[in-house]
Structure 1
Amino acid sequence: MKIISVSALLIVATMLSGCSDSSSSKTPPPPTTTDSDSGDALNEDLKKRSFNVSQAESDGFIDVKIGPNDISMHITFVMKDISKTIMVTEIKDPKGTIIYKADADLDTGEINSIVSGFADTLLGDPGSMAVFLPPNPHLELMEGSYRFSIVREDNSPLKSVNALIKSIPSGQAVDQQTYKADLNIWITHPEPEFNNDAFKQLVKTEYKDSINRILAPHSLSIDTINFYTATDAEKVKFADINVEKDRAEACLAMLPVTKNKLAFNLVYARELTSSEGEGPAGVSPAPGTLLDDTASNSCFFVNQRAYVADPAIGFTQDLVNQMMAGNILHESAHFMSLEHPTEENGDDFDFFPDTAQCDAATFDGRDNAQFGVPGEKDGIMSDFECGIDGGANNFLFYGGIPNFLPFEMSPDQAKTLRRHPLFTRVK
């Protein structure tokens, strides 16, 4: 379920938290010049604000105003030319504290420096990009205006800038509420067995039940699953998707046919391929863009051939169903900005204190006595080397193998998902 970087500036699970004093600078709070309190209500808790793109281009920034009951914001930037890159270079909170600052070459993606308390990845991508705050429990939104400074490749024009502001009614606590989300699935797989009613029923029952077993302890769930079938021509074109070349075009083909716009968008392909080697089980922008049918980072993808039953080795169809369900939830979490607790090098970790870390110094080369699998000191952290104490049973572990089912989600991971716009409060 490992995410594959598909461009120099693809955001891979960008996580933002408050900076320490050593990585912060203070300036007077910025005036709000490109945002107002107005916006369109999408539901009781969610409001969409649109920005004047000409002013944003002229100013080089947008200001997003946060009110006392607002709990998260999700910003989507879309370029008119999807080949041109948009990048956020700086974010200031209402106190004027810089919580993110990047110096990088927009053409090559080469990073000169990033000043932050959270990550060494760039906030930018060709065509469209998103920023989600707060991406972990350490950062809570404060009342006032956040400033997002941007740069555009060749000063190419913006098509749109939108913010989704999520709130909670006064007197209620977000972490004491129940939330649900919907899922759109666009099937590009050409084989009949993955297009018939029996397969759709399997997804609506066994896949959904497996996903909800992970979500339910945290008062989260997947609710309605909507299916859409690609045309014959689209199946020829997108049955197998190269994650470096084809994702944007496939996503843009899916978006116009979906009816529920406030839902996850999943492209179910026969196979995902990569010019860098074996294709991944799934891939997603992190975070993904929302509510714009021209934003090519609005979908995530899964690879049917990543999990194929093989009774000879005990890999049953039931295990296939559980693994694909976990894969779908894994990629949807990347779409909501979460990253792997540990990357395969054992040196890069997420920013959640309650997820286990599989650090190279401790786990590289460690034998797994439970399964009788010897370790190999090679700089790559395997599921067996890490084991449960190294997080191999977390649903976002970078590998993910059936030996560590059932997968689990940590309370801190759930707190972030609860704040995402696609999870709707159950009244």
Structure 2
Amino acid sequence: MPHSAIVLGAGMVGVSVALHLRRRGYEVALVDRNGPGEGASFGNGGLIQREAVYPHPFPRAMAELRRIAGNHAIDVSYHPLALPGFASPLLRYWWHSEPRRYLQAVTAYAKLIVTCVDEHEALARGTEAEALLRPIGWMRLFSDPRLLEAALAQAEIARRDYGVNYQALDAKGLAEAEPSLLVSRTGAIHWTDPLSVSDPHALTVAYAKLFTTEGGRLLRGDALTLARAGSGWRVQTDSGPVEAAEVVVALGAHSALLTRRFGYAPPVFGKRGYHMHYGLRGNAVLHRPVLDTESGFLLAPMRAGIRLTTGAEFARLDSPATPVQLERAEPVARKLLPLGDRVEGTPWMGVRPCTPDMLPIIGPLPGQAGAWCAFGHAHQGLTLGPTTGRLLGEMMTGTKPFTDPAPYRAERFA
């Protein structure tokens, strides 16, 4: 079993970890109860967000809190009966969002984000995945001049401190860039560094194909069967039990369900999200993803059509889908862009794994030799999968990590 690992979870993070370990000489079994990329990696805005050096803080303005509390917004929704279960992590989230503590989180978060485009391109180069990565960035639209001015000031700080690139557009420039928009906006910020993924699921599958082509094993199995096997680990799969010297937990929002069995209960909480694809009427086009600040949703051109994504829904992991945000967003989106019919009959739903301090958990599982964590990436699992794979691969093989992994250590929640 030396230099062998089981990676639990075949989303973008788990696939990337498995591929990096395989390339470092490990015998690797990647185990999931579903196919690669069928969880949270399947549904998102499809952006490799090089500009996202500032994680999402908890709102602190009373007006914003009152708006969210009304539970009628497009960008945030909640199940009232689920709120008691979110009280502790959300209170800690609010605490970590205090301006000074938030800046500490930004410093650590940005060290991962700044690598994301390079790490994706390193995996995709010369493969079928390369065609899925479009260097077109995305736009944030503004109708309020004051909000645009404030956002441009923040963008300039991001450029100065973290090398983020952008272009400011006035109303005329925006109309020329996206001529099919049905409304006029004051202006926009075009983030030019991010990659737009035409099919996020296909990208995860492409990386998984690289993994198996290079000798890795992709298996169906139940992560909750994980158990000690001597000094190593064993998990049950459809092909029988698999053993390895080490194990990596990359189960996204469900990771804590497993780690609790081994004495580690981090305050990971889930934000549910939905998407739906639409056609476009007539000769309308959408050249790049656009997020309308006033409306609070993203529209992104994908292989399957124009993807309308929602914000965050707070609900129990096992509760039925309630795509009310999508129902609220669709009529507004039709006023923004000439959307045609829905492509699917049922909206997609997934869960983003979040932590109170807005940083992922990457590193050894406390108190369990040979066990590692790779989860808690919130909205940026697609963005940070390859970066996480590299960092954990370096840690597991004793190579000097490209950045100090201390801010992401699991022990901070022990």
Q: Same fold (TM over 0.5)?
A: no
TM-score between both structures, scaled by the size of structure 1 = 0.24
Report the structure, 1 or 2, having the larger helix content.
Answer: 2
